[in-house]
Structure 1
Amino acid sequence: MMTKPQVKERAEEQASAMTEDQKAAIRMLANDLHRLNHAVMKAVDAGVSVELVRSARHHGGEGQWGDLLTPVVVTRS
């Protein structure tokens, strides 16, 4: 039975195949996701439920794509 490489090993392997611009874009994405997660937690703590839903998909023109999100917010009555 084959085992999957660990997350850290897979990330290092993927990063070694990236350009410096790609690595910088991924670091920016990771930082922005951290801030988004923090904002979601603050909204939940303030009393609303938050669901992130894919609203569109952005295509880069050479086969790459990314999901774009929109929040669905539900307040208590």
Structure 2
Amino acid sequence: MTVHTRVKERAEEQATTMNGDQQAAIRALANDLHRLNHSVMRAVEAGVSVELVRSARHHGGDGQWGDLMIPVVVTRAG
């Protein structure tokens, strides 16, 4: 099953006004999110439900912030 999540395309669209370091960080994030999405799909196909929940918010000190996530995994009994 192939699912197109548009992570890379969305990141590139949003990175047009960023400097080089910011663009590199967003490209790395997009790549990691793409792998994460595929891992979530594999887990679901293996029979578990996965919810990503914000566990904390990281603040950069100059007004920037980012959500830190943890997985909540539910399996069916039986």
TM-score computed with the length of structure 1 as normaliser:
0.81
1:24-43 per-residue CA deviation (whole Å, 9 max, x = no partner) reads 00000000000000000000
Distance 1:70 1:16 in 2: 29
Identity of aligned residues (%): 77
Q: For the aligned residues, what is the CA RMSD?
A: 1.6
1:1-37 per-residue CA deviation (whole Å, 9 max, x = no partner) reads xxxxxxx7xx2xx533211000000000000000000
- Partner in structure 2 of residue 70 of structure 1: 70
Equivalences for 1:13-24 in 2 at 5 Å? 14-24=14-24
- Give unmatched runs, 5+ long, in structure 2: 1-9
- Give unmatched runs, 5+ long, in structure 1: 1-7
Q: Which structure has the bigger radius of gyration?
A: 1
The size of the alignment, in residue pairs, is 67
Contact 2:15/2:26 (8 A) holds in 1: no
Deviation at 1:59, TM superposition (A): 0.2
